[in-house]
Amino acid sequence: MLPHMQGRVVWVTGGGGWVGQALLPLLHARGATVLAPRSHELDITDNQAVRAFTRTHRPEAIINLAAAGPLDDEQRQVQVNGEGAKHVAYAAMRLHARLVHVSSDVVLDGRSAPYDDNAPAVPLTFYGRSKAYGEASILMIYPQAVCVRTSLSWDPAAIDRGTGGFAERLAAGEPCKLFTDEIRCPLPRTVLAECLVRLVDVPVNGTLNVAGHEALSRYQFGLMLLRHFRVPGIERVQACKAEDLELRGEPRRPRDLTLRVGHAEMLTALPLPGVSDLLGTLPNQ
Ligand SMILES: NC(=O)c1ccc[n+]([C@@H]2O[C@H](COP(=O)([O-])OP(=O)(O)OC[C@H]3O[C@@H](n4cnc5c(N)ncnc54)[C@H](OP(=O)(O)O)[C@@H]3O)[C@@H](O)[C@H]2O)c1
């Protein structure tokens, strides 16, 4: 059954971002009263501002999408993904509000896939550590919260940042190297958004995997999307191995982040499609 959102006050952080752009229309369509200030209007790293905002608006549910990405300044990643997440958790605790926090598969090290919901966080990258810090802090402050570990977020109707970057490289006549030995479970952002909305009313806490049920390599995923969006220059896509870069001294990245997602599918009664369910047969590798 679809969650009843009519008139419910929901605060979404990071609503202007990639996932937020799928989530906000869904909440509006379900009749929720959506509060989605941009970061210049409400910065979650400012605890006093978060306290004042939540005292005034008293949201009954909070969906925390706000994040600094892996390319952002490291201090910023700690501030937003760690300290900011704490401020949101304290706010949820004070209000007894439902808190759905969005974390990432990169809190895992990629050495012991497939991962269950409660796999301990063992991040390899700085960004992964900042997201793991956020998860751990939230669950310590407010154990009733659910921390959604999700994978690459894509959209068959809109080109995502990663694929857009590959397309730019190809347009500039450059080669585009995609890893065959990095495995992920991508999920359309609209499905992630639907799942987050449903989780508002599902009594589950702790960490929960929400990703596509199909594991594929970054090479397969990238090629599928470049073909789907008919990006020119696709013949310059090259298969390569993350392992080779690491042998040349690049920092280690998680290899296989296959997540078991049956629990989330069961709890939310929402199938979590794989890429081939929507785009057809996968290429080899
Ligand atoms: N996209 C993916 O493939 C992916 C994969 C795994 C996990 N995730 C997780 O999913 C969530 C959403 O990702 P996304 O791709 O939608 O991110 P995004 O497009 O980079 O958007 C991030 C949002 O966070 C907001 N934000 C940043 N700093 C803030 C601050 N100090 N206070 C308030 N808001 C702040 C930004 O707001 P303004 O625009 O207003 O500045 C922006 O809207 C993140 O937690 C991310 O870690 C994403």
Q: Is the pLDDT of residue 3 over 80?
A: no
Q: Is the pLDDT of residue 214 over 90?
A: yes
CATH architecture of 9-155+188-214+258-276: 3-Layer(aba) Sandwich (3.40)
State the closest ligand 1 atom to the C-alpha of 19, by its place in the atom list counted from 1: 16
pLDDT the model gives residue 248: 87
Q: What is the pLDDT of residues 52-84, one digit of tens each?
A: 999 999 999 999 999 999 999 999 999 999 999
Q: Which of 131, 132, 64 is nearest to 98 (CA)?
A: 64
Q: What would the mean pLDDT of 95-118 be, rounded to a whole number?
A: 98
pLDDT the model gives residue 282: 86
DSSP code per residue over 183-241: EE--EEHHHHHHHHHHHTTS---EEEEES-S--EEHHHHHHHHHHHTT-TTGGGEEEE-
- The token duo for 95 is 């209000």
Residues enclosing ligand 1, CB less than 6 A? Answer: 13-14, 16-20, 38-39, 43-45, 65-69, 80, 84, 102, 104, 131, 150, 152-153
pLDDT the model gives residue 1: 59
What predicted TM-score, i.e. pTM, was given to this entire model?
0.98
φ, ψ of residue 238 in degrees (nearest 5): -120, 140
